[in-house]
Structure 1
């Protein structure tokens, strides 16, 4: 319930930060921690009428998938019958576009933003995500003057690739779109993103666009030919890099690994760590290494933690299933219900983990950590599994990736965990739920 500007009893709403066709963005504070957040409130009916639901859902799916210091983070998703709320990291510095509109940037400042942009884009590409609308308006600056990529509404995921392995949707902002996108013959989303990065770097250093003309078709002709000129104040090194980014043939365009070897790019470079572990996670992993630990099955705790009924209803029941709206079942937090005792569930997961050659350790009662014995693309895969009590004879089990590669995690969940636990599973999240859980939903109006 919302009272006196309070949403779901958790967030205190403040001023409107922005308005769009289907949504308003509010400044808000988390009431317990005092943390500032931005809450986008979307009208479901308007989105459905305009057939924009797929775009909204894809944006949220991608934001749940991509966790990087230079990407705006999605913290939480909530919904009522009429509205969708998603709580995002509050980035108070505004758009990079506003900074450039005042004039070109110093080379060292432009380089810093470009380094952070490439770091974020490379991470997105490693997750199979192509942004497809990179431009200064979609790059925000936080209080530390660090860049944050936002607005994934036009982004693409691997499942959108056609049989030729390419994307075919023509989208983006004309002045920043790669020539292969305009040709409508299929394109590699990652290569197209790098063209946009080249345009952005040019804009930061020049103060204006490389391709511009009052006649759109004439501008497109310049884009097709990669026809542009440098102003005299851009350094020779920067010109070389831009010239290797703004190459009309995507096969000849510079790649991210090659960009990171360019001396101009490497100057003053600091590499952010994506998906950093929290202090709690690091402490938990240290505990896993302690010798002589009590076996999991011998835990003395009598019952698992209680699982919030609203969360259960919205996640699991057919009538209130939000999981399909906001995240890919293969990349989010797989969840299932079971009528088995919590201790039996824990013992089964422990046995399955060991059978897959995972190191299994107890984080706390009714919560396990499974850690792969082999290195993956992003290090060792580490997964937690926790049992929650919903009712005396009903438990919810949730899996969550702590570290490692997201795609390897998705494969682990789908090909290893789901088949191995079929004997104790009542229903998986997103499958048909035929239980007798009944929930009431109250409308929230910001």
Structure 2
């Protein structure tokens, strides 16, 4: 199909308010600086979705493409019952489309704006928040903009974290092992972020969770002042007072969350052990390696008995950022080197080579489906056994992308595994590695 036919087809779909022949577009739900969010419905299944439409040219002008790519990477990592799910990413030449889970209960902020919550309800939301953030941190993700406006409620009254646009991944750490970007909302931001001396993203998230708990129970912010610098002074000193109606047990927890020294701030593991937190707490079901593998096997059985690699639908929007069909543009991000490579081999040949190399490195191979495997390390590392997911995506008839991602284990051990073990073992099937130029004599 030529470009003109595609454009005509897109125009007809827009007139009928149908997106890519898959989603019926509905009312506008909200708008931001770079995006609009619409209600949508999957034409075949009838499932409700939220469709975030981003103006690609505007985002590129503002230098925000890397942030968009990072948000996609993060949302693929953090599948949890209390996190808004990214279902798929699609694109045209001018727009990027995030198809998200539709959460129709609105923002938690709207509920708090009407006044303080009853303690049992505040505890429920806080439990769900901590469960989701603990899951994010286990995947190396820190949110960095936690506030009631970014916490949504579904039809069952359960909390869902949204807006990972300012989130951070381990590759953003500097040599000191810390983050240095100042971001977040002033009233919720941790003091160490304001100090500009580097900070641990996970510990900073815990401070924001403390501010949220205070707001839920008090009905107002712990640190308030018309003058921003005066408010920052209060944050630096953790200078706040709890109203009389907050229970002593909740006050004690808040006082451990809102500690200005991040080294003395309570950890998530310690929060979960607090008796006040434990009341009525049940861990939500989340995706373990085995559960995820089983679910994906079931989905594979439903679709087709003929094995074929999944099409990499994020490829179009990433590659179209640059002129021409140069796959190196796919790798112009700051993700850790070695987590992705391209190959001109067939998908089956790639999988065969990966399984052979993994066994040679004493890794167990667990097949998820025809073009996706889990590799489990044979020995215990600093954070348990290293587990790596490897998946092959088709991006063109003669080109495949192979993506490696850490499922569990230590991030530094994973980086070493990719760089020192995987790269040499797979050199025969690699066209170009993420971050490398195509300069090995192959045609570009």
Indicate the TM-score class for this superposition, using the shorter chain for normalisation: 0.7 to 0.9
Corresponding position of 1:416:
421
Partner of residue 383, structure 1: 389
> Does 2:267 match 1:262?
no
* Aligned-partner SS, 1:45: helix
Measured after TM superposition, the shift of residue 238 of structure 1 is 0.2
The residue correspondences of 1:315-326 to structure 2 (distance < 5 A) are 319=324, 323-324=330-331
Q: Does 1:36 align with 2:39?
A: no
Distance in 1, Cα, partners of 2:204 & 2:312? 44
**Preserved CA contact (<8 Å) 1:79 1:85:** yes
C-alpha deviation, 1:413, in angstroms: 4.5
Q: Which residue of 93, 111, 129 corresponds with 1:81?
A: 93
Distance in 2, Cα, partners of 1:343 & 1:60:
27
Q: Distance in 1 between matches of 2:261 and 2:297?
A: 47
> In 2 relative to 1, CA 378–387 (structure 1 residues): closer, same or farther, beyond 3 Å?
same
C-alpha displacement of 1:382 = 5.8
Aligned partner of 1:99 among 111, 115, 119: 111
TM-score (norm 1): 0.80
Q: Which runs of 5+ in 1 are unaligned?
A: 287-300, 438-446
Question: Are 2:227 and 1:221 aligned?
Answer: no
Aligned CA RMSD, in angstroms, stands at 3.6
Match of residue 13 from structure 1: 25
Q: 1:203 aligns with which of 215, 221, 229?
A: 215
Residue pair 2:210, 2:254 contacting (<8 A) in 1 also? yes
For residues 204-223 of structure 1, give each alpha carbon's deviation from its aligned partner in whole angstroms, at most 9, with x where no partner exists.
01111111122333322322
Matched position secondary structure for 2:263: helix
Compute the displacement of 1:348 (Å): 2.5
Equivalent residues in 2 for 1:132-171, closer than 5 Å: 132-171=144-183
Provide the rounded CA distance (Å) in 1 between the counterparts of 2:435 and 2:92. 18
C-alpha distance in structure 2 between counterparts of 1:78 and 1:387, whole Å: 15
Report SS of the residue matched to 1:250: coil
User: Shift of the alpha carbon at 1:241?
Assistant: 0.4
TM-score of the two chains, using structure 2 as the length reference: 0.80
1:19 and 1:210 map into 2 onto residues whose CA distance is 29
Q: Does 1:356 align with 2:361?
A: yes
State how far apart, in whole Å, the 2-side matches of 1:146 and 1:265 are.
Answer: 17
Shift of 1:345: 4.0
Q: How does 1:431-442 map to 2 (within 5 A)?
A: none
Distance verdict in 2 for CA 1:255–1:331, change over 3 Å: farther
Task: After superposing the two structures, state which structure 1 stretch, 53-62 or 350-359, moved more.
Answer: 53-62
1:305 aligns with 2:308: yes
Mapped partners of 2:373, 2:206: distance in 1: 41
- What's the counterpart of residue 4 of structure 2? none
Distance 2:279 2:395 in 1: 53
Aligned-residue offset at 1:427: 4.0
Provide, for residues 72-105 of structure 1, a one-character-per-residue CA deviation record: whole Å limited to 9, x for no partner: 2222222222212222222111111011111211
Task: Tell me if 1:338 matches 2:350.
Answer: no
How many residues matched?
418
Contact 1:223 1:248 in 2 (8 A): yes
How much has 1:344 moved relative to structure 2? 4.4
Partners of 1:312 and 1:381 lie apart in 2 by 25
Alpha-carbon offset, residue 272 of structure 1: 2.4
Q: What's the counterpart of residue 431 of structure 2? A: 426
Contact kept? 2:311, 2:393, Cα under 8 Å: no
Give the Cα separation in 1 of the matches to 2:18 and 2:49: 13
Structure 2 gaps, min length 5 = 1-8, 299-304
> Structure 1 residue 45 and structure 2 residue 51: aligned?
no
Residues 200-209 or 350-359, more deviating: 350-359
Name the structure 2 match of 1:114: 126
Higher relative contact order (CA 8 A, sep 6+): 1
Q: Quick one: structure 1 residues 370 and 173, their matched pair in 2 at CA, closer, same or farther if it must change by over 3 Å?
A: closer
1:331-382 deviations in Å (ceiling 9; x for gaps): 97x453234x665444433321221223346666666554444566476726
When structure 1 is superposed on structure 2, of 73-82 and 45-54 the one drifting more is: 45-54
Preserved contact between residue 51 and residue 99 of structure 2 (Cα < 8 Å)? yes
